[in-house]
């Protein structure tokens, strides 16, 4: 088991060491450098306000700034201007994106008990979703194994089924991976932030894969219906040529659609 206290203590030591060489006047009062469990704050002159860039995290805009005030007595100010904690209080609310603020306003309506009920419902819903997704991916893998095992099932219709199931399996597996990562990071001690959502490149790649799998899944659903329509209405049906075209549409078109989505998202939502 990881010792949370030791991790925070070690980080605080590193924070103090980082600003150890900072030159300050002995004739004036200064707040000591401090680690507030999120950012490392430098020594700050009494009655002044320190300013740092917001941390890189989900739901936070790192181009914004967060402030921390050093009191007149050389101690970090608490939430109400008091010194109720050696590390003081840091107001991170200016860092939130508009989307994060929208969610917070939905959850916290001024009634703490109501907010706790909403969070409990959300956690229970996520648990049910996790169980359902686990059952789904298991059933999909069993179905794919059956399709691959029996030669009598190897035809165009079942090939389309297999592609649809593969797209579904990729989508479900990716979502499960994200949920597991979120659960692990939520229970992890402060200072351990190497999850998917805290690794920008990995996070973006994972969500692009999720969007691609979701798009491919619906594309193969469309192909399923189109194929059945052709079986009923078209007299002459060339399986080989049609299947190649289906495969190109089923996996190729979602690439174009997903790349378009990724570019637009990167341009308009660079910090989400």
CATH number of the domain encompassing residue 71: 4.10.1240.10
> Do residue 70 and residue 96 come from a single domain?
yes
> Does residue 130 share a domain with residue 220?
yes
Least confident range from 32-36, 123-127, 217-221: namely 32-36
Instruction: Out of 78, 102, 126, pick the residue that ends a domain.
Output: 102
Are residues 252 and 196 located together in one domain of the fold? yes
d(CA 219, CA 38): 43
Two tokens, residue 115? 């907010």
| pTM across the whole model | 0.68
Is 213 a member of any domain?
Answer: yes
**Are 132 and 236 in the same domain?**
yes
Across the chain, mean pLDDT equals: 83
Q: Are residues 122 and 255 in the same domain?
A: yes
Domain boundary among 60, 75, 102: 102
Count of domains in the chain?
Answer: 2
Tokens representing residue 90 in the block: 């840091």
List, for residues 238-268, the tens digit of each pLDDT value: 555 578 889 999 999 999 999 999 999 888 8
Does residue 261 lie within any of the structural domains? Answer: yes
Average pLDDT in the 115-138 region? 90
pLDDT tens profile 89-126: 888 888 998 888 888 887 777 677 777 888 888 889 99
On whether both 150 and 226 belong to a single domain, the answer is: yes
Is residue 166 pLDDT above 60, yes or no? yes
Q: What's the CATH code of the domain at 247?
A: 1.20.1070.10
Same structural domain for residues 91 and 139? no
* 206 to 22, 57, 144, 176, 202: CA distances (angstroms): 41, 16, 23, 11, 6
Please report the pLDDT score of residue 239 as a whole number: 53
81 and 167 together in one domain: no
The answer to whether residue 226 is domain-embedded is yes
Residue 136 lies in a domain: yes
Domain residues for the domain of 150 are: 113-268
H-helix segments, 188-199? none
Domain membership of residue 133 (yes or no) is: yes
DSSP for 258-272 reads HHHHHHHHHHH-TT-
Helices 253-268 and 200-233 sit at what angle, rounded to 10 degrees?
A: 140
Q: How many Å is the maximal CA-CA distance in the chain?
A: 96
Same domain, 51 and 131: no
Which secondary-structure segment (H or E) carries 127? helix 112-149
Which of 102, 134, 150 is the endpoint of a domain?
Answer: 102
The number of C-alpha atoms within 13 Å of 42 and in the hemisphere containing its C-beta is: 13
Residue 108 within a domain: no
Query: Does one domain contain both 96 and 182?
Result: no
213-218: average pLDDT:
97
Q: Are 247 and 162 members of one domain?
A: yes
Q: Is residue 200 part of a domain?
A: yes
φ, ψ for residue 35, nearest 5 deg: -105, 115
Q: Which residue has the tokens 């740092």?
A: 52
Nearest by Cα to 191 from 10, 41, 1: 10
Q: Give the DSSP letter string of 200-233.
A: HHHHHHHHHHHHHHHHHHHHHHHHHHHHHHHHHH
- Do 96 and 138 belong to one domain? no
Residue 107 lies in a domain: no
How do residues 187-207 score in pLDDT, each as one tens digit?
Answer: 655 445 577 877 878 888 999
Expressed in angstroms, the distance from the first to the final Cα of the chain is 32
């Amino acid at each position: 088991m990881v010792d949370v206290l030791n991790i925070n203590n070690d980080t605080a030591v590193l924070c103090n060491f980082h600003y150890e060489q900072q030159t300050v006047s002995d004739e004036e009062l200064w707040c000591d450098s401090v680690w507030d469990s999120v950012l490392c704050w430098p020594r700050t002159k009494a009655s002044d306000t320190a300013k740092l860039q917001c941390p890189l995290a989900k739901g936070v805009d790192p181009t914004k700034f967060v402030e921390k005030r050093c009191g007149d007595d050389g101690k970090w100010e608490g939430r109400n201007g008091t010194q109720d904690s050696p590390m003081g209080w840091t107001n991170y609310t200016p860092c939130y994106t508009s989307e994060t603020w929208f969610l917070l306003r939905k959850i916290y309506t001024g009634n703490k008990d109501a907010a706790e009920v909403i969070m409990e419902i959300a956690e229970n819903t996520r648990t049910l979703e996790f169980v359902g997704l686990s059952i789904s991916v298991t059933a999909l893998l069993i179905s794919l194994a059956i399709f691959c095992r029996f030669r009598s099932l190897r035809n165009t219709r079942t090939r389309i089924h297999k592609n649809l199931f593969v797209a579904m399996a990729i989508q479900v597996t990716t979502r499960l991976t994200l949920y597991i990562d979120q659960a692990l990071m939520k229970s992890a001690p402060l200072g351990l932030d190497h999850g998917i959502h805290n690794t920008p490149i990995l996070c973006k790649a994972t969500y692009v894969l999720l969007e691609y799998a979701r798009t491919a899944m619906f594309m193969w659903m469309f192909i399923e219906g189109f194929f059945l329509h052709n079986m009923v209405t078209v007299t002459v049906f060339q399986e080989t040529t049609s299947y190649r075209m289906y495969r190109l549409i089923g996996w190729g078109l979602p690439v174009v659609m997903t790349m378009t989505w990724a570019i637009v998202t990167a341009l308009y939502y660079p910090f989400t």
